[in-house]
Structure 1
Amino acid sequence: MKRDYYEVLGVSRSASEQELKKAYRRCAMKHHPDRNPGDSAAEAAFKECKEAYEVLSDGGKRRMYDQHGHAAFEHGMGGGNAGPGFGQGADMGDIFGDIFGNIFGGGGRGGPRRGADVGCVVELDLEEAVGGVEKRVELPTLAGCDDCDGTGSEDGKREVCTTCAGRGQVRMQRGIFTMQQACPHCDGQGQIIAKPCKTCHGAGRVEDEKVLSVKIPAGVDNGDRIRLSGEGEAGPAGAPPGDLYVEVRVRPHPIFQRDGDDLHCEVPIRISQAALGDTVRVPTLGGEAEIRVPAETQTGKVFRLRDKGVKSVRSRAPGDLYCKVVVETPVNLTVEQRELLAQFESTFSGENARRHSPKSSTFIDGVRGFWERMTS
C-alpha cells in the first residue's frame, strides 16, 4: 500500500511550493543511489519521494490528489492504471509527444542537441577532503570550433533543407498509415550547412583537451559528485554544452578511518598505562588532544572526542573522533625489564590470579564447562 505523499516528504498538507521543494531535496539527498550504493531500500525511498514530489509540485495533480488520494491516478480516474501524471487532467499530447515524437511528428521541428555530459575522478587525501582544496583537472573533450565559432559553417550561413522544405519532418507511407519522423538530411533542424567549415567539417566542434581548476568544498566524502554546469562537451552546431561531473575518491589514511562525519583511530598504550591509568596524547585533524585513560582499562576501550571529526559539507555540523585503545605487548626488553616482569608475574598465583584477571578467569571457567559437557 502506498504511503501518503505528504508523509513521504515529511510536510503538512498546507505546505508551500518552497517547503515542498526543500523537503524533496532533503529526502532525495538522503536516499540518492549515489550516496547509498547497493542499498535497495534507499533506492526505493528515493523513487518514492521523487514520485511524491512530481505529484505535489504540480498544482492540478495536487488538487486531484487532495480530493481523491492515490485513486486519482489509478483505475477509473482518467484512463486505466497509469500512475501519477497519466490521470485526469494530464496533457495527452505531451505524453504521446514524449514517447512517439520521432515517429508521428508530435514535437515539430527539433533544435540542435546539447553537448554530452562528461565525468572525471579526482583523488584526494583525507586532509584535502576535510579542509577543501582546489584541484587542476585535465580531460579530453569536444570543444567549440574557433574557426567557425561553433556553427559548423564556413561563412556562418545556413540554407533551408530541400528534403523537408524547412519543416524538420518528413512523411512516410506505411500501408494505410502515414507517419512523420525527423528529417534524416537535416536531423530535424530544417536547415543545412551549405559550406561546411574545413576545420571541423561542419560538426561545429573539434577534439581538444580542457584544463580546469575545480574547487572541492570542505567536508566532501568518498563518492560525492560535483557538477560544473556547461563544462562538458560542446554541443553540435553551436548547441549548448553539457555538464562536467567530478567524482571524489578519498585515499586511505594511515591513521584515521572515516565513517560519515565521524573519524576512528587506534591508540596503542603500554600495559603499565592501562593498569595504572595515564593521560595519553592522541592525534586529530586539527592538532593533538588528550584522553584520560583510567586505571585498569582493557584493550578495545573506546574514547569519544566530541566535535573532533569532519564538518559535514551539507550541515557544517562536526562529527566526533573515536579513539580505541590497544594494549601493546612490550618488545626488545632489557635484562632488568625481563627480571621485573618475571617478578611481577610471580605475584599472580592461585585465586590471586583469578582476582586480577577477570576475563581470563571467565574464559577458563567456560573451557572447563565445555569439556565437562563433552565428556558427560
Structure 2
Amino acid sequence: MAAQPDEIFSTFFGFEDWGRGKGPRKAAAIVRTLPCTLEELYNGATKKLKISRDVLSASGRKGTVEEVLTIKIKPGWKKGTKITFQEKGPDTQRGVIPADIVFIVDEKPHSVFKRDGDNLIVTQKVSLADALAGYTAQLTALDGRNLRVSIDSVISQAHEEVVRGEGMPIQNEQSKKGNLIVKFSVKIPKLTSEQKTGIRMLLTSL
C-alpha cells in the first residue's frame, strides 16, 4: 500500500505527527540533582552552573555552546523542589524540540541540625548534674546568630524544649518560620554502691 503524503513528510524530515496537527515532539527532560547546604536553604543563595550543549547551526553543522544557568535558591526550599530551564538541552535533531533541564534540590546532611519539614531538630548531650540542676544550650543558628536556650526544670531523656520561630523559613510565607526542637541525651555515669547510696540519701532528703 502506498504511503500517504503526510507519512512521507514525517519520515523524511523527522516531524512525526505534523500531518496530524500535533507538531514536533519534545526530547525527554534531563534531570540533575542540585545539592544544597542547610544554610543555603535557610538563608537563600545564588548558584551559577556552567553547561555545554550541542547545537546545530543554520547550515546543519554541529557545534557546542557554553551557557551559565543561574538558580536563585529561596529561603525555605525543601528537598525535592524542582527548577526547570526550558529547552536548554542539546539541539541536534531537526524537528525535535530541545529537552528541558530540570534540577531537583537535595539537602546535604548537617553536622548539628536535622530538618523535619519546617522545623529544625538538635540533640544536646548533657551530664546528669546539668540534667538535675539546670542547663543552658548554646547554639549557633543557621544565619550565624548565637542562641541560648535555658532549661530550669529537670531534664529527662524524653524532654524536648520547643523554641518557637527558630526553625526553617516557611516557603510560601517568608515572614514565618517553623520551630527549633531541642532534644536531650542525658549521660548516666557508672556509680559505685557507695555513690548510689549517697545519691539516694540526698534525694530522699529533698
The TM-score with structure 2 as length reference comes to 0.73
Q: Which residue number corresponds to residue 312 of structure 1?
A: 170
Q: Which residue number corresponds to residue 185 of structure 2?
A: 326
Match of 1:130 among 39, 42, 49: 42
- Is the 1:142–1:207 contact (alpha carbons within 8 Å) kept by the matching residues of 2? yes
- Is the 2:42–2:76 contact (alpha carbons within 8 Å) kept by the matching residues of 1? yes
Measured against aligned partners, the alpha-carbon deviations of 1:25-58 in whole angstroms (never above 9, x if no partner) come to: xxxxxxxxxxxxxxxxxxxxxxxxxxxxxxxxxx
- Could you tell me how far 1:282 is from its partner in structure 2? 2.9
Q: Which residue number corresponds to residue 264 of structure 1?
A: 121
1:346 corresponds to 2:197: yes
1:250 corresponds to 2:102: no
- Is the 1:233–1:243 contact (alpha carbons within 8 Å) kept by the matching residues of 2? no
In structure 1, C-alpha distance between the alignment counterparts of 2:22 and 2:154, rounded to whole Å: 77
Letter matched to residue 228 of structure 1: F
Residues 1-376 of structure 1: pairs in structure 2 closer than 5 A: 108=20, 111-139=23-51, 141-145=53-57, 148=58, 154=59, 197=60, 199-200=61-62, 206=63, 210-234=67-91, 236-237=93-94, 241-286=98-143, 287-316=145-174, 317-329=176-188, 344-349=195-200, 352=201
Greater share of strand residues, 1 or 2? 2
Greater share of helix residues, 1 or 2? 1
- Is the 1:141–1:233 contact (alpha carbons within 8 Å) kept by the matching residues of 2? yes
Greater CA drift, 302-311 or 213-222: 213-222
- Could you tell me how far 1:248 is from its partner in structure 2? 0.9
Identity of aligned residues (%): 22
Number of equivalent positions: 188
- Could you tell me how far 1:305 is from its partner in structure 2? 0.7
- Is the 2:18–2:24 contact (alpha carbons within 8 Å) kept by the matching residues of 1? no
Structure 2 unaligned runs (5+)?
A: 1-16
Structure 1 unaligned runs (5+)?
A: 1-104, 149-153, 155-196, 201-205, 332-337, 357-376
In structure 1, C-alpha distance between the alignment counterparts of 2:94 and 2:46, rounded to whole Å: 33
In structure 2, C-alpha distance between the alignment counterparts of 1:251 and 1:144, rounded to whole Å: 38
* Cα distance change on mapping 1:239 and 1:267 into 2, 3 Å: same
* Cα distance change on mapping 1:355 and 1:296 into 2, 3 Å: farther
1:247 match: secondary structure: strand
Relative contact order, higher structure (CA 8 A, sep 6+): 2
- Could you tell me how far 1:265 is from its partner in structure 2? 0.8
The structure having more radius of gyration, on CA atoms, is 1
- Could you tell me how far 1:134 is from its partner in structure 2? 1.8
